[in-house]
């Protein structure tokens, strides 16, 4: 939970620097939990045929930090943030999952190793 709050409060739109695997995956976990909870609440309030306003607010509110933490995660393995564009291509975007599970690299052009 601390990783999620840190990304939201301190690194909302910070695209430079590096993010550890833990920071990325904990953010992703709590993003999914928040999205599912919002979808359930929307389903209870407006039903399945209504407009899911709460789900939309959560998704749009966390869009920028999710892109930012993904780019910082790519920086951690010494890849450019432009690799995030692969997420727009179905099936090929699975390469990003492989990148996100790779361990941190030593100091690189994006900054010192955050694990140290």
Compute the average pLDDT of residues 40-61: 89
Average pLDDT of every residue of the chain: 91
pLDDT at residue 2 is higher than 90: no
Q: Please state the pTM of the whole predicted model.
A: 0.89
Collapsing DSSP to helix, strand or coil, 111 comes out as strand
Compute the average pLDDT of residues 21-46: 94
Is residue 97 within 8 A of residue 39, CB to CB? The reply is no
Q: Residue 19 is encoded by which pair of tokens?
A: 């993010």
pLDDT at residue 116 is higher than 80: no
CA dihedral 50, 51, 57, 59 (to 10 degrees): 90
Each residue's pLDDT tens digit, 52-101: 899 999 999 999 999 999 999 999 999 999 999 999 999 988 999 999 99
Is residue 92 within 8 A of residue 86, CB to CB? The reply is yes
């Amino acid at each position: 939970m601390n990783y999620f709050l840190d990304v939201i409060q301190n690194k909302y739109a910070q695209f430079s620097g590096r993010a550890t695997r833990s920071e990325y995956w904990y953010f992703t976990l709590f993003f999914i939990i928040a999205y599912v909870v919002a979808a359930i609440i929307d389903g209870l309030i407006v039903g399945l045929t209504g407009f899911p306003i709460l789900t939309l607010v959560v998704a749009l509110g966390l869009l920028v930090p999710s892109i930012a933490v993904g780019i910082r995660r790519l920086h951690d393995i010494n890849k450019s943030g432009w690799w995030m564009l692969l997420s727009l291509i179905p099936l090929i975007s699975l390469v990003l999952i492989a990148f996100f599970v790779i361990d941190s690299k030593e100091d690189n052009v994006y900054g010192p190793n955050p694990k140290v």
